[in-house]
Amino acid sequence: MANGKSQMKNTVLFDLGGTLVQYFGRSEVREVLGQAIAEVQECLGQRGLLHVAAEEVWERAADEGREASDYRVRPLEQRLARIFRLDEHTCSDALLEALCRCFVRPIFKRARRYDDTLPVLQQLRSEGRRIAIVSNTAWGSPGELWREEIVRHGLDGLVDTVVFCRDVGWRKPAPQIFAYTLEKVGVGPEDCIFVGDDPRWDFCGPRAVGIAAVLLDRSGTLQDVTEDRVRDLYAFYDSLRAGASSLSLPGRGPG
pTM confidence score: 0.90
Per-residue pLDDT at 8 exceeds 80: no
| Alpha-carbon separation of residue 102 from 40, 51, 173, 176, 229 (angstroms) | 6, 18, 27, 29, 36
Q: How confident is the model at residue 5 (pLDDT cuts 50, 70, 90)?
A: very low
pLDDT one-digit tens code per residue, 182-226: 999 999 999 999 999 999 999 999 999 999 999 999 988 887 776
In this prediction, residue 180 carries a pLDDT of 98
In this structure, what are the phi and psi dihedrals at residue 134, rounded to the nearest 5 degrees? -130, 115
- Residues near 139 by Cβ (< 8 Å), separated by ≥ 6? 36, 64, 65, 74, 76, 79, 103
In this structure, what are the phi and psi dihedrals at residue 20, rounded to the nearest 5 degrees? -100, -35
DSSP 130: E
- Between 4 and 123, name the one with better pLDDT: 123
User: 11 forms bridges with which residues in the sheet?
Assistant: 130, 192
| Gap between the Cα atoms of 126 and 142, Å rounded | 31
Average pLDDT, the chain: 91
Q: How confident is the model at residue 6 (pLDDT cuts 50, 70, 90)?
A: very low
pLDDT one-digit tens code per residue, 39-87: 999 999 999 999 999 899 999 998 898 999 999 999 999 999 999 999 9
In this prediction, residue 7 carries a pLDDT of 55
